[in-house]
């Protein structure tokens, strides 16, 4: 092995980099190239450097420096190539620019590339492109590390040698406590004041030892001399006032001890001195010495032996050789711990994973090894069957150092990130002296095993020399001893945090930042790319785009992008920090990461893709954040099943395309990531298209999973998730769509989720979907075979609140802007009725601005059951009222075979508290309703539109319950209607859904004098109306209104008419004769916008409401041909047009009434449908005729009058569209059903006579 030093910046010659590479190649050995520390600047090449053909480490970094100070300008020559024969090489600390192709090419394997700027100048802020990729990893290359898997770390140190009047010789136990203000319980050994007796010590407080300290003296409990020694280990807090400690007690204080018993103390922290209460002594049968080292959940681990020296040696005890598990409740040893094949085993730490599973650590030695040599181990103990599994051996720093003992002095389990941390140290077996201390972090694998180990050296306060020995651990907090070179000893505690320590900056290149090409191998992890900045400046704040993708993985398998270390990141607890091993992949021209063409088994964790380094501002890639094309079995993982959510999430936000796009790819797994949300779990950083797009024939996409594996898809410009084409086997499980994670809202600008896929077997399960601008879920197109399992749509995560209040005081609603779920188009076989049981007991669809569920279009075979609409989520909270604004459920259009309430589970359909009717069924004859509760809805429980009563009753089966619906139980409204007047079946009243104006028209020809009035059904309030004249028995049709009667000059009088304001509610018509008697109401029938009341004696009055929009209720056929009667009483040659408009807003082509271009768009719509009639097609002045036109029975229509045939002078039935919002249309009644509409050709706010008779259109019932 040789070291060559580069001493100048020359392109060639003595002391040049070229010469050093040539010498290394010639030596055919593992060599190193370093650079003179004072050297900095640019090496400008006159020709290409030779390929590197033998193992070589090139390190250009001066000591203590992490950024390059030397640049290689390839001057349009080839970049650096590690060719065949150079396996295991490294490149550190150079800026590589100006190459004709890639800045760096790897053809050999197992290379390391760290702390380079590739495509970036030495300032880290400006691009200087290589024409090709930044790094190309060829098909022959595998197992490379681009970046670093060692995160940055920062440790604070506390000297605990003197605390609270005690001289503390060791802290041998620390555990997290349950009180945030006193987060740790520490225990150990020391002396109090001037006393010489060694006692146990315990404190509840901060890790720095600032809490109050108390004595634990077993001598009081068990007897002994003043030399008796008490030592405390492994504590546990049982409740606010009770702790449990374990330890050892030597009655004489001898060393080596002649008699040592283990003890347990359970009681108050300040009562463990001067008492016998709470103490339990244990001596294992046949033992001379018994030690208890750690306790948790009623189990204790420890050691025992019955000799006074370690076998075959006279050295003092280093550790005893037989390990046990003791059970506090029984007072017995219940299991021996013996590493398979060992001659001795110790146990020093136990950590609870769950109620049944515990992890234990200690040391073991094998027959045939020298005395004192030992290895560490980890093992699971299962309480339920007293068994051990997953025996795992380790040596400190994963290095077999020979005559060394590896020792663990404590273990803790962190459920937040599903890791273990261990306090470990190495001992020289020959001398018994400590050598090095290490904090070991162990990631649990997906199947629960002991996974990758991360080692962090422990060096007290970064002191030179001396030895640091950890003695206990709780998460990233440790305790231990430090012996300085002068022999002085310090007892300490430390707190360590981890962070991203950026390695390479790979930006500004003409091709991809990194291209991994076709290296399919048997490696478990092919290449690892961690802690790099790809497409940005060195500080991660600005874009230095690579010309193609940030990372391209083409036909390459099992690459790891980022890493699974949390660094304390926990965004749902407002504790956010970038995961330490992740890459920043932003600002690139193409995709952030493109995985394609057979690339298999690649994994991304901890990366920020499309943001700045903080994750909280946009720095988007020009296409998708992550694109997976024709590549199976790839994963984006942000946590594990047994960790907290999102701890090493990929934040894929701010990109110009989709967050993630999966095309023609199977078995993708997407767990615990953010798509469209900032890393802080607060701000929207929307992707320009969808949060996620699943398309092509992609199969078996696992998008989320059981808690905590769900993703956040919020804040995006289109939908949170879109599933299209023939994608199948897709499941979105525990996704937040339109909300933050367990917080407020971050609306997607369209739908929370959009499904159009015809592939089938797609599932929407246990998601929280709220705050989106359009629908929560939209199932449309030709979507087929979709199951909507229990979800919360329109409420918070708990399903118990419609709003969220930020710390600033701002309150927002979780309502989706339109419907909770909309099913339309040709969607078929849709089940909103899943029987899956989870924390959400049933679909809960509440608080939305439209309907809870809206089924229309040509939707077919839709089942709705096991669903609560308008309530809270939890079973015990369904009384909570969170009604949907337009109604509970709407079924209409040409939808077919809709089943409501028919479910095999006992919890069925509950529709309550909605602002409209609970359930509205429009014009469809083959729906089935059963096992449904309709209660406390603001209008009717059940409303049938476009059906007669017999047809409605055919759809009602068993198990329907009605209660407290404001307008009544069931409404049946055949024909055309604008839903302003409503009537319950068999009721002698009608309802209005909003404050309005109602006109009363007397229609009978009796000569009786009659006064009319309306009585409010709930309050009893009486609204008196003026006496009206009877009508002429010669009346034939409606014509011009003048004041209170019809004009004799333009038609035969019909009788008196009065317009009166009417409040929302249910009203009973009443008539009072001249004897002040209330006439019996013989019949009340509704037709169109009018209610006709017939009283005894033939007295008849019609109550009508006007309307600016006309809603066509459905007929038996989806398209109906209408013959309308037209009467003209105007000199102008007016035309008429009928146009399709949105039922809720009146919009045409997205333009709202009053918007620029609305009237022109409405006319264009009418022309396209052939519903424009000029004056020549209409009757002449004072004449009557007919016109025919077709309408869709599922759509809403508005009317235009073309004044004097001029298409530039248009007035709409929607007043908001007219100048000054002038009302140009009103509606009357046509006896026998139907609708009569009067149009005014002069502005009502100007010179108009407001007679609304210039054109009178009478439309008959459709059914």
Q: What is the DSSP string of 933-999?
A: EEES-SSEEEEEES--HHHHHTTB-S-EEEE--TTEEEEEE-S-B-SSEE-BTT-S-EEESS-EEEE
Res 851: pLDDT: 97
Res 903: pLDDT: 64
Res 756: pLDDT: 98
> What is the H or E stretch that residue 817 is in?
none
Res 1115: pLDDT: 40
Residues 6+ apart with CB under 8 A from 1007: 1030
Q: What backbone phi and psi angles, to 5 degrees, belong to 1220?
A: 65, 15
Residues 1240 and 1199 sit within 8 Å (Cβ to Cβ): no
CA dihedral 640, 644, 645, 651 (to 10 degrees): -90
pLDDT in tens, 651-675: 999 999 999 999 999 999 999 999 9
Would you tell me how many other CB atoms lie within 10 Å of the CB of residue 1025? 19
Confidence class of residue 1046 from pLDDT cuts 50, 70 and 90?
very low
Determine the distance from the C-alpha atom of residue 507 to the mean position of all C-alpha atoms in its chain, rounded to a whole number.
Answer: 30
Q: Which residue has the tokens 């000054």?
A: 1220
| Tokens matching residue 1183 | 């004449």
Per-range mean pLDDT, top range of 430-444, 445-459, 806-820, 1005-1019: 806-820
Query: What separation in angstroms does the CA of 363 have from each of 164, 317, 863, 1194?
Result: 34, 14, 61, 76
Residues 320 and 304 sit within 8 Å (Cβ to Cβ): yes
Per-range mean pLDDT, top range of 237-241, 720-724, 1035-1039: 720-724
What is the SS3 assignment for 49-112?
CCCECCCEEEECCCCCCCCCCEEEECCCCCCEEECCCCCCCEEECCEEECCCCCCEEECCCCCE
User: Looking at 1007-1148, which runs of residues are DSSP E strands?
Assistant: 1010-1016, 1022-1025, 1041-1042, 1045-1046, 1057-1062, 1065-1073, 1081-1087, 1090-1095, 1100-1105, 1110-1111, 1119-1128, 1135-1141
Examine residue 256 and say whether the peptide bond preceding it is cis (omega within 30 degrees of 0): yes
Res 1244: pLDDT: 63
Res 1048: pLDDT: 29
- By DSSP bridging, strand 828-832 and strand 860-864 are parallel
Average pLDDT over residues 485-506: 91
Res 1110: pLDDT: 37
pLDDT over 50 at 98, yes or no: yes
Res 1038: pLDDT: 30
Average pLDDT over residues 562-569: 89
pLDDT over 70 at 522, yes or no: no
Average pLDDT over residues 1088-1102: 83
Q: What backbone phi and psi angles, to 5 degrees, belong to 1166?
A: -65, -40
Res 12: pLDDT: 96
Residues 6+ apart with CB under 8 A from 1002: 1010, 1012, 1028, 1029, 1030, 1031, 1055, 1056, 1057, 1100, 1101, 1102
Q: How far apart are CA 1072 and CA 615, in angstroms?
A: 74
Per-range mean pLDDT, top range of 402-416, 477-491, 979-993, 1175-1189: 477-491
* Greatest Cα-to-Cα distance within the chain, rounded to the nearest angstrom: 132
**For 619-646, b where at least 16 C-beta lie within 10 A, e where not — what string?**
bbbbbbbbbbbbbbbbbbbbbbbbbbbb
Summary mean pLDDT of the chain: 87
Res 1247: pLDDT: 47
Q: How far apart are CA 666 and CA 634, in angstroms?
A: 9
1217 vs 575: which has the higher pLDDT: 1217
Percent above pLDDT 70 for the chain: 89
DSSP symbols for 276-298: -TTEEEE--TT-SEEEEEEEETT
Residues 443 and 418 sit within 8 Å (Cβ to Cβ): yes
Q: How far apart are CA 578 and CA 650, in angstroms?
A: 10
Average pLDDT over residues 1150-1170: 92
Q: What backbone phi and psi angles, to 5 degrees, belong to 522?
A: -90, 5
Residues 1054 and 1044 sit within 8 Å (Cβ to Cβ): no
Query: What separation in angstroms does the CA of 636 have from each of 525, 618, 702?
Result: 15, 20, 10
Is the pTM here over 0.85, yes or no? no
Q: How far apart are CA 86 and CA 82, in angstroms?
A: 6
Residues 6+ apart with CB under 8 A from 147: 113, 114, 503, 504, 528, 529, 530, 531, 532, 583
Query: What separation in angstroms does the CA of 266 have from each of 235, 298, 420?
Result: 10, 11, 26
Q: How far apart are CA 314 and CA 369, in angstroms?
A: 17
Average pLDDT over residues 1103-1115: 48
Would you tell me how many other CB atoms lie within 10 Å of the CB of residue 527? 28
Res 168: pLDDT: 93
In terms of Cα–Cα distance, which of 146, 151, 159 is closest to 439?
151
Q: How far apart are CA 964 and CA 360, in angstroms?
A: 61
Q: Per this entry, what is the length of the chain? A: 1263
Confidence class of residue 536 from pLDDT cuts 50, 70 and 90?
very high
Res 1114: pLDDT: 37
What is the SS3 assignment for 484-510?
CCCCCEEEEEEEEEEECCCCCEECCCC
Confidence class of residue 1035 from pLDDT cuts 50, 70 and 90?
very low
Q: Which residue has the tokens 């946590």?
A: 639
Q: How far apart are CA 894 and CA 860, in angstroms?
A: 9
Confidence class of residue 1245 from pLDDT cuts 50, 70 and 90?
low
Residues 6+ apart with CB under 8 A from 1177: 1135, 1187
pLDDT over 50 at 976, yes or no: no
Q: How far apart are CA 1249 and CA 1244, in angstroms?
A: 7
Q: How far apart are CA 1094 and CA 1102, in angstroms?
A: 9
Average pLDDT over residues 222-237: 84
User: Looking at 696-759, which runs of residues are DSSP E strands?
Assistant: 702-704, 712-713, 721-723, 731-733, 736-737, 753-755
Confidence class of residue 289 from pLDDT cuts 50, 70 and 90?
confident
Confidence class of residue 1087 from pLDDT cuts 50, 70 and 90?
low
1048 secondary structure, DSSP code? G
């Amino acid at each position: 092995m040789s070291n060559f030093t580069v001493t100048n910046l020359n392109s060639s010659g003595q002391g040049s980099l070229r010469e050093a590479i040539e010498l290394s190649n010639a030596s055919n050995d593992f060599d190193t190239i370093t650079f003179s520390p004072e050297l900095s600047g640019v090496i400008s090449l006159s020709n290409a450097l030779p390929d590197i053909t033998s193992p070589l480490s090139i390190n250009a970094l001066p000591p203590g420096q992490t950024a390059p100070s030397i640049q290689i300008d390839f001057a349009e020559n080839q970049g650096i190539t590690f060719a065949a024969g150079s396996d295991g090489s490294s490149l550190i600390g150079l800026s590589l620019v100006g190459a004709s192709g890639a800045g760096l090419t790897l053809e050999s394997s197992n290379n390391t590339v760290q702390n380079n700027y590739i495509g970036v100048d030495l300032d880290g802020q400006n691009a200087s492109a290589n024409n090709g990729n930044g790094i190309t990893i060829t098909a022959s290359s595998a197992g490379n590390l681009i970046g670093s898997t060692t995160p940055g770390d920062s440790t604070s140190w506390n000297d605990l040698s003197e605390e609270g009047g005690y001289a503390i010789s060791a802290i041998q136990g620390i555990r997290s406590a349950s009180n945030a203000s006193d987060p740790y319980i520490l225990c150990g050994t020391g002396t109090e004041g001037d006393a010489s007796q060694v006692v146990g010590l315990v404190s509840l407080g901060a890790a720095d030892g600032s809490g109050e300290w108390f004595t634990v003296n077993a001598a009081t409990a068990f007897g002994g001399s003043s030399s008796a020694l008490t030592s405390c280990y492994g504590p546990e807090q049982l409740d606010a006032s009770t702790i449990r400690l374990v330890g050892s007690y030597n009655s004489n204080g001898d060393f080596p001890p002649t008699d040592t018993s283990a003890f347990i103390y359970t009681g108050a922290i300040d009562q463990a001195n001067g008492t016998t209460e709470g103490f339990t002594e244990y001596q294992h049968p046949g033992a001379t010495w018994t030690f208890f080292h750690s306790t948790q959940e009623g189990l204790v681990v420890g050691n025992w032996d019955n000799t006074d020296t370690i076998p075959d040696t006279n050295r003092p005890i280093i550790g005893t050789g037989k390990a046990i598990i003791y059970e506090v409740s029984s007072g017995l040893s219940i299991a021996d711990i013996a590493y398979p094949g060992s001659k001795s085993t110790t146990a020093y730490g136990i950590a609870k994973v769950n109620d049944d599973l515990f992890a234990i650590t200690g040391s073991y030695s094998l027959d045939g090894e020298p005395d004192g040599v030992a290895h560490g181990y980890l093992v699971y103990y299962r309480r339920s069957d007293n068994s051990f599994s997953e025996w795992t051996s380790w040596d400190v720093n994963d290095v077999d150092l020979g005559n060394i003992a590896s020792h663990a002095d404590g273990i803790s389990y962190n459920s937040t990130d599903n890791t273990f941390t261990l306090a470990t140290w190495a001992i020289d077996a020959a001398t018994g002296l400590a050598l090095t201390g290490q904090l070991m972090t162990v990631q649990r694998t997906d199947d629960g095993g002991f996974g990758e180990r991360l080692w962090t050296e422990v060096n007290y306060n970064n002191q030179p020399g001396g030895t640091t020995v950890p003695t206990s651990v709780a998460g990233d907090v440790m305790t231990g001893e430090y012996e300085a070179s002068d022999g002085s000893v310090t007892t300490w505690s430390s707190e360590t945090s981890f962070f991203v320590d950026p390695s390479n900056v790979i930006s500004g290149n003409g091709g991809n930042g990194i291209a991994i090409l076709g290296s399919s191998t048997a490696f478990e992890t092919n290449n690892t790319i961690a802690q790099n900045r790809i497409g940005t400046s060195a500080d991660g704040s600005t874009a230095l785009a690579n010309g193609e993708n940030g990372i391209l993985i083409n036909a390459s398998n099992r690459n790891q992008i980022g890493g699974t270390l949390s660094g304390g990141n926990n965004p749902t607890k407002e504790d956010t920090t970038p995961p330490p091993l992740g890459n920043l992949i932003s600002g690139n021209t193409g995709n952030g990461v493109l995985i394609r063409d057979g690339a298999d088994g690649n994994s991304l964790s901890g990366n920020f893709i499309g943001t700045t380094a903080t994750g909280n501002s946009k720095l988007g890639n020009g296409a998708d954040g992550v694109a997976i094309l024709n590549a199976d079995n790839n994963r984006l993982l942000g946590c594990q099943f047994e960790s907290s959510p999102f701890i090493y999430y990929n934040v894929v936000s701010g990109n110009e395309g989709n967050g993630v796009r999966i095309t023609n790819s199977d078995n993708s797994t997407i767990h615990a990531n953010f798509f469209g949300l900032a890393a802080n779990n607060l701000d929207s950083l929307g992707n320009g298209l969808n949060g996620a797009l699943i398309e092509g024939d992609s199969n078996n996409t696992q998008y989320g999973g059981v808690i905590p594996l769900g993703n956040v898809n919020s804040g995006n410009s289109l939908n949170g998730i879109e599933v299209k084409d023939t994608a199948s086997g897709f499941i979105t499980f525990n996704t937040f769509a339109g909300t933050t994670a367990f917080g407020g809202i971050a609306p997607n600008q369209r739908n929370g989720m959009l499904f159009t896929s015809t592939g089938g077997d797609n599932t929407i399960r246990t998601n929280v979907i709220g705050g989106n601008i359009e629908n929560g879920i939209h199932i449309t197109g030709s979507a087929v075979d979709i199951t909507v399992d229990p979800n919360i749509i329109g409420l918070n995560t708990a399903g118990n609140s419609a709003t969220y209040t930020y710390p600033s005081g701002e309150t927002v609603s979780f309502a989706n802007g339109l419907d909770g779920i909309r099913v339309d188009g040709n969607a078929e076989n849709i089940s909103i009725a899943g029987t899956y049981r989870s924390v959400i007991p049933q679909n809960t669809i509440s608080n939305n601005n439209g309907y809870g569920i809206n089924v229309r279009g040509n939707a077919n075979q839709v089942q709705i059951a096991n669903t609560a609409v308008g309530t809270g989520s939890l079973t015990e909270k369904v009384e909570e009222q969170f009604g949907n604004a337009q109604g509970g459920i709407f079924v209409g259009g040409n939808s077919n075979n809709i089943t409501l309430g028919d479910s095999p589970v006992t919890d069925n359909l509950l529709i309550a508290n909605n602002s409209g009717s609970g359930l509205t069924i429009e014009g469809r004859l083959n729906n089935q309703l059963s096992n449904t509760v309709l209660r406390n809805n603001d209008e009717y429980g059940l409303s049938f539109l476009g059906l007669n009563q017999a047809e409605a009753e055919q759809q009602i089966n068993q198990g329907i319950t009605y209660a407290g619906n404001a307008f009544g139980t069931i409404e049946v409204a055949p024909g055309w209607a604008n839903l302003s007047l409503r009537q319950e079946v068999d009721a002698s009243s009608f309802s209005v859904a909003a404050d309005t104006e109602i006109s009363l028209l007397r229609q009978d020809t009796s000569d009786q004098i009659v006064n009319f009035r309306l009585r409010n059904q709930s309050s009893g309030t009486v609204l008196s109306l003026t006496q009206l004249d009877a009508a002429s028995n010669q009346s034939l049709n409606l014509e011009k209104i003048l004041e209170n009667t019809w004009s004799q000059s333009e038609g035969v009088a019909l009788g008196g008419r009065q317009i009166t304001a009417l409040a929302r509610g249910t009203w009973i018509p009443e008539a009072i004769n001249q004897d002040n008697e209330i006439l019996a109401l013989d019949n009340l029938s509704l037709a169109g916008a009018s209610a006709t009341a017939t009283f005894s004696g033939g007295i008849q009055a019609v109550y009508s409401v006007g309307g600016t929009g006309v809603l066509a209720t459905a007929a038996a056929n989806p398209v109906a041909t209408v013959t309308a009667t037209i009467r003209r009483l105007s000199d102008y040659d007016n035309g008429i047009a009928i146009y399709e408009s949105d039922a809720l807003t009146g919009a045409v082509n997205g333009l709202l009434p009053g918007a620029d271009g609305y009237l022109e768009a409405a006319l264009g719509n009418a022309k396209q449908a052939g519903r424009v009639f000029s004056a020549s097609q209409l009757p002449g002045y004072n004449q009557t005729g007919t016109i025919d036109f077709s309408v869709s029975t599922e759509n809403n229509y508005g009317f235009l009058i073309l004044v004097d045939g001029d298409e530039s002078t248009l007035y709409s039935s929607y007043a908001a569209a007219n100048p000054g919002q002038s009302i140009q249309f009103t509606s009357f009644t046509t006896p026998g059903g139907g609708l009569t509409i009067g149009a005014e050709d002069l502005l009502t706010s100007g010179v108009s006579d407001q007679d609304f008779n210039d054109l009178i259109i009478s439309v008959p019932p459709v059914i």
